[in-house]
Chains A and B, each alone.
Chain A
């Protein structure tokens, strides 16, 4: 394989959907937060000062989605925000739960009993199937309407959900909608489905889960935005912080960083990234790749690429050795690579074990994207020369296990 494709230092990071690099604005905000000693729950002057800072961050985050601060509950991240919504708004209210078939493990593993709403070959929620499920549920009994949980944009393919249609169906059938906005919230473009659904009020009755580090903020912070100010059965009762909805002292600096990152992300011209992404996809298609979800509206930064016949793990290793950080569907805590449940739900069969995800970070350099494209092409050519594109690779056909 080619050595030294460029004279750069360190690896090229193209795994933004795992975590975005910290935005300078977020870092600055966090440093200001770290300077403070007070506990926002304390009565004294130091406490009052930090309380003001925390509430300011809360107001800005809620406002970015047209919400009031009262409905914003700070959490430790996206997983906790999703889990809190599923438990407090779903299970605790006796609602039956329906989730998209391509949802993240943060959802799937929190409610293993949930009904799965199928997606089409592009990864888009099947609206007719959802409607049928809602109708069947309505006919079955007189309990509260179901909780429907859909991700605004998929972490592996970047495919946007048809949120306005989904929200209309939920309203029509008395269902509550929870939107996992972890990947979409920090990468919003004016005309994307999530923005349009927020703008036209489709999501006024929905809850939203957010994660700071997917926006260019710190890891370990997130929020659940409720449609209105309401009490919740907490996962962590603790000292009654977050008005009894989430115990534990809030991570002030992290939430300040989150607010700054979110606002910074809204100033970004994502069409620049989208153009680089399109250019990269063209190069990869030239190398023999099939792009997943290509026919659907997607996040501007995400490429889900299948190289037929080549196990995802083999591609990840070959690219890592060359100094490029990309990922596959689901890496577990041990580091082994499992098949992608997202592509399986899309009916992609074999391809579920042969897809890698390239996700451009907010600060990606055009030169790095292009050098990656060249390295990928060389890798694909070498695999073809070794007959790998035809030879089955038995060792990576293991059982589907997901974690992390």
Chain B
């Protein structure tokens, strides 16, 4: 079939493209130019990043057409600006979810359909399983590289059209060996890390340049408003974190955690970890912009939920609410960060998910 492969220039998506080509498919490669890659070229010049060139070389070597799609303005609006907006609201966004949801699985996927493709493949580590009611999303064989949490917002319609060949790979070494075998120069290329558009320095620095109104130090206070210390900027904090609180832990004699971020007063509110993790009132989490990968269960569904990218499952009952929202009743209290994703699992299967709301 004619299949579009979203290529980043890295080893994973290169292997996907080469594998599909070897299986006899008509492969079309596409690389999104998402932001100015900096480097020696001046701003405004369109410089091909190293990754774009790598993707091109792979396509030329394997023998299929490859195109560079200018998605800069769309990426800026839908990912980078909303990333900064979220921090300015005191939330902790997940830009990779926004990118997969918009630029990749909406725009690029539409383009694939417009080009007469029957499917679109990516180098993500998730498994697509044909179920009795259509395509399902499952955790990959290689649990170390599981990306299901980042792809929870993929709609069922998108999932029907998508393919994730790397979901079946036992481990990264296997992928690199395949790249070697397929003759790809990118076989030994380093994996990408962190947030792609934060090219120099910290994400917080970028947010503060984009939203200067939230830049600058402020007070760290307890739940009664007593000042316990100072912080260097609210963009550096996430609800649930214990780091960057200076000597407050020793000062109060208890390990402290961030419980809230008050943007208007620029205050970081903390509380003692021990007390918070046993606080009965912290068992309910509300979600917005739900994406269900099963038919939304009116009476709710018992499942495991994952509240952060790298965290274990917590048992919960998730019930849909009006306005595409949901209520999560956790069996044990937790401190989820507003803006992060709450993804539901049943065994290996992703049932859906939503974004954590600030209110409780």
Contacts and interface: CB of A to CB of B under 8 A. Distances in A.
B73 interface: yes
A395 B74 contact: yes
A397 B73 contact: yes
A318 B46 CA distance: 23
Contact of A321 (B44, B45, B115): B115
Contacts of A338: 46, 70
Nearest to A379: B116
A382 B47 contact: no
Given A321-B115, A334-B33, A395-B74, A313 B45 contact: no
A317 interface: yes
Contacts of A44: none
Interface stretch (B61-69, B79-87, B341-349): B61-69
A3 to B, nearest CB: 9
A367 interface: no
Interface in A363-404: 382-383, 386, 388, 394-399, 401-403
A340 to B, nearest CB: 14
B69 A313 contact: yes
B223 interface: no
A336 interface: yes
Interface in A109-151: none
| From B49, B73, B113, B114, residue with most partner A Cβ within 10 Å | B114
Contacts of A383: 114
Contacts of B73: 397-399
B56 A395 contact: no
A333 interface: yes
Contacts of A259: none
B333 to A, nearest CB: 42
Nearest to B4: A317
A338 B69 CA distance: 10
Contact of A334 (B28, B46, B113, B115): B46
B107 A395 contact: yes
Contacts of B48: 332-335
Contacts of B74: 394-395, 397-398
A1 interface: yes
A382 to B, nearest CB: 7
A386 B103 CA distance: 19
B114 A335 contact: no
B114 A388 contact: yes
B45 A401 contact: yes
Nearest to B64: A321
| From B28, B46, B111, residue with most partner A Cβ within 10 Å | B46
| From B70, B107, B108, residue with most partner A Cβ within 10 Å | B70
Contacts of A320: 65, 67
B72 interface: yes
B111 A382 contact: no
A354 to B, nearest CB: 14
A337 interface: yes
Contacts of A314: 111, 114-115
Nearest to A401: B46
Please tell me the size bucket of the interface on B: 20 to 34
B56 to A, nearest CB: 7
A192 to B, nearest CB: 34
A333 B50 CA distance: 12
B116 to A, nearest CB: 5
A403 B68 CA distance: 15
Given A334-B52, A386-B113, A317 B67 contact: yes
Nearest to A397: B73
Nearest to B46: A332
B102 to A, nearest CB: 9
B71 interface: yes
Contacts of A313: 67, 69-70
Interface in A307-329: 313-314, 316-318, 320-321
Given A314-B111, A383-B114, A333 B70 contact: no
A338 B103 CA distance: 18
B64 to A, nearest CB: 10
Given A1-B116, A318-B115, A398 B72 contact: yes
Interface string B22-48: 000000100001000000000011111
Given A332-B46, A333-B48, A401-B45, A395 B70 contact: yes
A396 B70 contact: yes
| From A316, A320, A333, A383, residue with most partner B Cβ within 10 Å | A333
Contacts of B45: 401, 403
Nearest to B33: A336
B347 to A, nearest CB: 36
Contact of B115 (A317, A395, A397): A317
A403 B45 CA distance: 7
A150 B335 CA distance: 67
A297 B207 CA distance: 53
Contacts of A396: 69-70
Nearest to A318: B115
Given A321-B28, A403-B45, A403-B46, A335 B68 contact: yes
Interface of B: 28, 33, 44-49, 52, 56, 65, 67-74, 103, 107-108, 111, 113-116
**Which 3 interchain pairs have the tightest Cβ spacing?**
A334-B48, A332-B46, A336-B70
Interface of A: 1, 313-314, 316-318, 320-321, 332-338, 382-383, 386, 388, 394-399, 401-403
Given A333-B46, A395-B108, A401-B46, 12 more contacts: A314-B114, A335-B56, A395-B70, A395-B103, A395-B111, A396-B69, A396-B70, A397-B74, A398-B72, A398-B73, A401-B45, A403-B46
19 contacts: A1-B116, A313-B69, A314-B111, A316-B67, A321-B65, A321-B116, A332-B46, A334-B52, A335-B52, A336-B33, A383-B114, A388-B114, A395-B71, A395-B74, A395-B111, A398-B72, A398-B73, A399-B72, A401-B46
